[in-house]
Amino acid sequence: MTRIKTLLAIALAGLTVTACATSNPGSDGLYATPTGGAPVTPNPTPYSDALVCMAAHARAQGQAAPRIAVGRIADYTGQVAPEGGTRVTQGAALMAMSAFAKSGARLVERFDTSVAELELRYTNNQLIGDAAETDGFRQIYAGSIPGSDYYLVGGITELNANIRSNGQDAFAGDRIDSDPSAVFSRRLYVMNVGLDLRLIDSRTLEVVDVVSYQKQIIGRELSAGAFAFFQDVVLDVSAGGRSLEPVQLAVRSVIERAVLEISAQLYGVEPQQLCAFNDPLGGSTITGGVQPFTAYSSGSEAPYVQARTSVDRGHEHRDAGVRSQLRGTYR
């Protein structure tokens, strides 16, 4: 009788769980309430605050922001996920637009002009009305669309799935099967994503800056379990967790780091003048940077080029100057 009651209790519990979703909608028109309720939050990277600080610095100095157009930043890795689709984001150009907006640049649309072209066609055929015009039709005026000073293109060029991996396994138990035993497992692996961008003068098509960056991504897996007999009771317990640094957020971080470097040269600022940067490396052109007689340079000498060899540059958790100016205290 006790066993029958136990089985009935288990069956009743199962019916209770399945009753959470029914085939009849409720008074609100829903079959079930969606799980979750996390609020919408910003999506920053460790370089976002440095970009915003750069924009504030330029405004405070009265510097005119350049007009930037972002072209195609494609995925050239050619890698496909096992479940289908590409492994890295196809929206790198959109991330670059957001980064330039944070840096205070004036963006002109060149990435998706389909709506503008359709409006222009309708206007040319006098299909769009405009009450401000004398004849009631929208007019097309020469020179009404501002041009870009520079445009950014490039691509995601690297996605190395397993640069290094390691793991540890441990088992403890007695020779007698009925004695308690335990198992522990740990895995760690590293991958990376790389990006190559170039900034081009819109008037001359001269490549005035090239940036090549990569970021490593880490993944972890941890599990543990125990097995034992306690008289007539069998105990089998296990637990574990798995985490992977977001690949797409890594792409955004690389793009924002690149835009930070490019914007610093566009504004012609030195790290020491911008948000109290403290760079022990000082000025450097060892990664290419801006060459003489380009759009950045008005004289015979190349301007100051922000050092690109320091991984601490502009990173809110590494650069003490950024922490003190933007955060107040280290978090």
Greatest mean pLDDT among 170-174, 237-241, 291-295: 237-241
- For residue 113, report the phi and psi dihedrals to the nearest 5 degrees: -105, 20
Q: Which is more confident, 204 or 298? A: 204
Amino acid in the structure at residue 41: T
Tell me the C-alpha to C-alpha distance, in Å, between residue 313 and each of 104, 218, 272, 307: 19, 21, 12, 8
Which is nearest to 219 in space by CA: 244, 202, 198?
A: 244
How far apart CA 76 and CA 201 sit, in angstroms, is 23
Predicted confidence at residue 309, as pLDDT, reads 60
Q: For 291-302, what is the mean pLDDT?
A: 37
Q: Which is more confident, 203 or 265? A: 203
Q: What is the 3-state secondary structure (H, E, C) of 240-281?
A: EEEEECCHHHHHHHHHHHHHHHHHHHHHCCCHHHCCCCCCCC
Q: Please, is 73 exposed, middle or buried when counting C-beta atoms within 10 Å of its C-beta (0-12, 13-18, 19+)?
A: buried
CATH number of this structure's domain 43-108+146-327, picked from the four choices 3.30.420.40, 3.40.50.10610, 3.40.50.150, 2.40.70.10: 3.40.50.10610
Mean per-residue pLDDT of the chain: 80
Predicted confidence at residue 215, as pLDDT, reads 92
How far apart CA 71 and CA 322 sit, in angstroms, is 30
The edge-to-edge listing of strands for the beta sheet with 150-173 is 106-107, 67-75, 150-173, 181-201, 207-230, 233-244
Taking a C-beta distance cutoff of 8 angstroms, is the pair 99, 51 a contact?
Answer: yes
Q: For 170-178, what is the mean pLDDT?
A: 76
| Residues 6+ positions from 182 with CB-CB distance below 8 Å | 171, 172, 173, 224, 225, 226, 227
Predicted confidence at residue 284, as pLDDT, reads 34
Q: Quick check: pTM over 0.95? A: no
Q: For 81-91, what is the mean pLDDT?
A: 89
Q: For 289-299, what is the mean pLDDT?
A: 37
Per-domain residue ranges for the chain? 43-108+146-327
Predicted confidence at residue 149, as pLDDT, reads 94
pLDDT tier for residue 8 given thresholds of 50, 70 and 90: low
Q: Which is more confident, 231 or 17? A: 231
Q: Which is more confident, 295 or 112? A: 112
Q: For 104-119, what is the mean pLDDT?
A: 94
pLDDT tier for residue 206 given thresholds of 50, 70 and 90: very high
Amino acid in the structure at residue 279: D
pLDDT in tens, 241-279: 999 889 999 999 999 989 988 888 888 775 445 554 433
Q: For 85-104, what is the mean pLDDT?
A: 94
| Residues 6+ positions from 256 with CB-CB distance below 8 Å | 45, 47, 48, 51, 95, 99, 102
Amino acid in the structure at residue 264: A
pLDDT tier for residue 171 given thresholds of 50, 70 and 90: confident
pLDDT in tens, 24-33: 887 888 888 8
| Residues 6+ positions from 258 with CB-CB distance below 8 Å | 195, 197, 211, 213
Which is nearest to 214 in space by CA: 230, 194, 229, 233?
A: 194
